Amino acid sequence: MAIEMQKAARRRAISVRMGIAAGPCIVGILGCSERMEYTIIGRTVNLAARLQAAAQAGEILVDDATAQRVAGVVPTRASGCFALKGFDIPMPVSAVAAEGL
């Protein structure tokens, strides 16, 4: 889906950056009777947000778990380990290779 979104953005001369992480999260209507909202929270969500912030325009960055899950289907290339805010150790990151876009 991210690849198709990037292609659509390019057709409209828009540059977007994306971050994708695989793992558990909590999604649903959270809050109390005075204030409720549909949201998603968790470490995986934070990782995806940090990857998106680290990506260059037109780039899709993925965490190691995602890269492993899409291996053989989506071409990726290792981009190194990134020190991301909120994470104690540098995280291995891959980018969707140009031929995938």
Q: Which residues contact 54 (CB under 8 A, 6 or more apart)?
A: 19, 61, 82, 84, 93
| pLDDT tens, residue by residue, 26-42 | 999 999 999 999 999 99
Average pLDDT over residues 7-26: 96
CATH 3.40.50.300, domain 2-100, yes or no: no
The domain spans of the chain are 2-100
Task: Please list the residues that pair with 81 across neighbouring strands.
Answer: 92
| pLDDT tens, residue by residue, 29-84 | 999 999 999 999 999 999 999 999 999 999 999 999 999 999 999 999 999 999 99
pTM: 0.91
